[in-house]
């Protein structure tokens, strides 16, 4: 957490899931989309899909910079469970983002 150097007030909050610091008042973690407030917490499917659509652009960015990444590496880098990994894989295949110009898989 960060604090104001003038008054000592808290300026950020730490995500309990991934540990990333977020600006104070943020409702969701900017790294993993976990709810940071109990009142704004979506439940079940909504929370899952919120996280899915936050991580897909991050995965795409990683694929663009690295060219090829294994699913095991994605799982470790992003902390995916099996369900989220399956959904990310399906989303990439649906968008044809997991296939290069030669038809080879990028992940």
Residues 6+ apart with CB under 8 A from 60: 92, 97
pLDDT of residue 105: 56
What is the model's pLDDT at position 80?
83
Residue 4, token pair as written in the block: 């104001």
Q: Which residues face 105 on adjacent strands?
A: 99
Question: Looking at the whole model, is its pTM more than 0.95?
Answer: no
State the 10-residue block means of pLDDT for the chain, 107 residues long.
Answer: 72 79 85 72 62 81 81 84 83 67 58
Closest CA relative to residue 24, chosen from 1, 54, 55: 1
Structural domain spans, the chain: 1-41, 45-94
CB within 8 Å of 34: residues ≥ 6 apart: 15, 16, 17, 18, 28, 47, 51
């Amino acid at each position: 957490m960060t604090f104001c150097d003038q008054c000592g007030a808290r300026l950020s909050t730490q995500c309990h899931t991934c540990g990333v610091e977020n600006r104070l008042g943020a409702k969701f973690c900017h790294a993993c989309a976990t709810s940071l407030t109990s009142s704004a917490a979506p439940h079940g499917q909504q929370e899952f899909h919120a996280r899915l659509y936050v991580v897909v652009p991050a995965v795409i960015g990683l694929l663009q910079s690295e060219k090829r990444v294994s699913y095991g590496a994605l799982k470790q880098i992003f902390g995916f469970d099996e369900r989220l990994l399956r959904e990310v894989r399906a989303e990439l295949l649906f968008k044809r983002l997991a296939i290069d110009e030669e038809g080879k898989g990028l992940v």
